Amino acid sequence: MTLFVGAFNNPVSSNFFGSGAGAKVQCEIINSLRSNNNDFKALVMPEVPSWPSSKLFIKSDVVGDYIRFMPILNISFLKRFVFFVQVLIFLFKNKPSSIFFYNSSLLSCVFSYIFRFFGCKRVLILQDVHVPNFKSFSSYLNPKNIIYYTYLKFLPFCYDYFIPITESCISELNLPSARSEVFAGAVPLHRLNQIKSKSSTSGNYAVFAGAIEPYNGIDLLLENWPRTDDSFKIHVFGTGSVAEYVSRMGKVNPNIVYHGFKSPEVVDEYLLNSKINFCFRYSKVICQNYFFPSKFFDLINLSGFLVCNRFENIPYELSDYVIFSNDDLTDIPQIIHECSISIRNTDALNDLVSMKYTWQFFLNDFCKRYFL
């Protein structure tokens, strides 16, 4: 049996909470593992606000016959412990041969170390790393920083294999290079199916969809967006700390349309028909050495042009299919003009990502090389 251990809220839940990108990636991994393994289960901790902001007890939920959202006592300092105790009980009963963990923490490291006594192979898919900031003396005394620093020191010894999102994770976290393989991300299989049934763009507009945060460059993008009547409109989707700023920009610039949060189906409809899509990443609050925007792979093979700044870790063989802007985005008006008179051909790109940039391909290849 192969087991997946993760944390996200049911994406179809009416009160969805948490990272939409994280939930999509985990669902993609789950479906890929299941397609490669007849005997597969996923145990998921519901990612909901802790009590009293949410219910004290979260009931279990089952999706299909292979994904189980575990029941938890929803108290902040207890719920992860309760979740991992249930995973431990599952191991006693079912004895899986391999476990794939999505991200980690000090507590999951402790339990993973215990799981080694069951003889199962433990694989960590490391997508998010928050390195403690020790810029002042008081930061050394911060309990959260101390816990996270301790976790990072133990991390290399608590799993058998590592699938980090960047090379920096291996070198700077001292992960064993012989048992680590970088995988920046993958094009969702449903996106490939959508592309097959659609040949070209039909909308004369641009789209930004994602967290409305400075590290995603939305403030710079809108500062440089043209205001002339004959220019492209940009449709902005998402919420975040600078949402109020985006809303104000939409009132002073007629070419900026801010939608706020919309369902994935609505956003996808705009993305599939747009002429230009944007994916930026800056080291503001986060360190891009340890992150890679999953939406890059949501957008790379759409028929609309993909515009990025030169952030870290873009796969070299995909860079030919990206239009790169200046970091300050002052060349956005010129890029808009060039895209408006051009057509993007994605035939070769679609073949490339179908072969190399899906979780199903990567995990199947990974398991063959390390488990067989």
CATH number of the structural domain spanning residue 82: 3.40.50.2000
In angstroms, rounded to a whole number, what is the distance separating the alpha carbons of residues 367 and 28? 16
Answer yes or no: do 164 and 207 share one domain. no
Interior/surface letters 139-168, b for 16+ CB within 10 angstroms, e for the rest: eeeeeebeebeebbeebbebbbbbbbbbeb
- Taking only the tens place, the pLDDT of each residue in 317-364 is 999 999 999 999 999 999 999 998 898 888 899 889 988 999 999 999
Q: Do residue 268 and residue 160 come from a single domain?
A: no
Whether residues 327 and 291 share a domain: the answer is yes
Residue ranges for the chain with pLDDT beneath 50: 14-17
pLDDT of 106 reads: 92
Residues 94 and 136 in one domain: yes
Tell me 303's DSSP state. Answer: S
Q: For residue 67, what pLDDT is reported?
A: 95
pTM of the entire structure?
A: 0.89
- Residue with tokens 């999953």, as numbered in its chain: 294
How many percent of the chain have pLDDT more than 70?
93
What pLDDT does residue 12 have?
55
What pLDDT sits at residue 291? 83
pLDDT digits (tens, 9 = 90+) for 127-158: 988 766 666 666 667 777 788 888 889 999 99
Indicate whether 345 and 364 sit together in one domain.
no
CB 144 within 8 A of CB 130: no
Check whether residue 75 and residue 112 sit in a common domain: yes
Same domain, residue pair 221 and 269: yes
Residues 6 or more apart from 67 whose CB is under 8 A from it? Answer: 30, 41, 42, 44
- Quote the CA–CA distance of 219 and 343 in Å, as a whole number: 27
**Count of the separate structural domains present in the chain:** 2
Residues 43 and 168 placed together within one structural domain of the fold = yes
Number of residues that this document lists for the chain: 372
Read off the tokens for 321. Answer: 């299919």
**Does one domain contain both 142 and 48?**
yes
Q: Which residues contact 187 (CB under 8 A, 6 or more apart)?
A: 297, 298, 300, 301, 353, 354, 357, 358
DSSP-derived letter for residue 39 is S
Tell me: do 300 and 362 sit in the same domain.
no
- Check whether residue 172 and residue 246 sit in a common domain: no
- Same domain for 200 and 145, yes or no, is no
Q: Which domain holds residue 328?
A: 189-353
